[in-house]
Structure 1
């Protein structure tokens, strides 16, 4: 996740190599968006080496590549209720066109709603798809609270693979696995953004809870 607030210079550049991972993960307690993003990236790197990560990945279903793989894979489960998506995904309108959906975005574009719309729309949604980058910008606890009556999917490359999300009321995890590490490094270093989804990483879906009916129905 790249913070939307840019800076010409990161004061800690060139000083991170060799430091304990715990030092960087502790930055999650702060408010600087760049430090929080780096902290989550470090946490994810540490979690990937844990046995729980391997267990969760083993229980999950591969969805393949593509920025919209999660929505395509889950479309058959959507009903007539509202689908609220936190975070803009390129091409989302084409995939969700047959459904009643809204996209809520911190920096809204054409057709998006501002992030304060979540206060009004998530409590009455059947599905809530929440980008895991909300963990870095500190909005995730409130979004999960607002969407507790809906089927909640926490998703994106920033997602920490941990069963702890069950305690937060998350129903599905939709994170990524690295398919081609060399290609991923090259795309990221060349500023490829969502192009990582073409061949470098692929989504996986894990069911934490399966509800017969959403509580808001």
Structure 2
């Protein structure tokens, strides 16, 4: 978990102002509004100190990222993101992929909505999922296909489930970590990432309300976020 150690090590601390665990997303308010995917099974998970999370500091909550309880780990990633002030240029990485993916072999860890459109222009598109949909490959296929790809797109949820470091070791192509839960931190460049594609929450009240009310697809949050990218 060295990547997690490095993400947390230099962050400043402050109080947690609010926490929302929605059906699909988790939001933490501290210095900023940070989000992460809710990767857990709500009915089976016991979250430590539930009901008292807003009494913690953001760094204390960030330590939950080390947990193998996926809701706790999501809380931890959202807390990490709440302590980062996102920098970068405004760009929806889907546009980058559609322009630069023409004729390329692409491995996509996580089934992103752009996959169907990308499949039409890529030479090969391997979508790898823990819960495969029709046309997807199981996550065990990463070992075989990721090293063959010209472009590797990795969901930021791979930080939550602790698969991120192995995926980055396997990648020999241009590597992107993508999603609203992506930490906009230079630390990822140290692990071989070429592009960091995340968001900046510009309306935290609206964002937290939508998380609490069951918001799912990223498109539902577009009036509360800016899409940002950082390149090495």
TM-score by length of 1: 0.82
Taking the aligned partners of 1:206 and 1:20, their CA distance within structure 2 comes to 28
Q: Does 1:160 align with 2:183?
A: yes
Q: Does 1:198 align with 2:217?
A: no
Question: Which residue does 2:207 correspond to in 1?
Answer: 184
Taking the aligned partners of 2:68 and 2:185, their CA distance within structure 1 comes to 23
Distance 1:105 1:4, change over 3 A: farther
The structure with the greater share of residues assigned to strand is 2
Structure 2: state its 5+ residue gaps: 1-36
Question: Which residue does 1:141 correspond to in 2?
Answer: 165
1:61 corresponds, among 81, 89, 92, to 89
Length, aligned pairs only:
193
Q: Does 1:47 align with 2:75?
A: no
Residue 72 of structure 1 contacts residue 95 of structure 1 at CA under 8 Å; is this kept in 2?
A: no
Residue 188 of structure 1 contacts residue 196 of structure 1 at CA under 8 Å; is this kept in 2?
A: no
TM-score by length of 2: 0.77
Structure 1: state its 5+ residue gaps: 64-68, 209-217
Taking the aligned partners of 1:141 and 1:92, their CA distance within structure 2 comes to 23
Q: Does 1:14 align with 2:51?
A: yes
Deviates more, 1:189-198 or 1:33-42: 189-198
1:35 corresponds, among 59, 64, 72, to 72
Q: Does 1:70 align with 2:106?
A: no
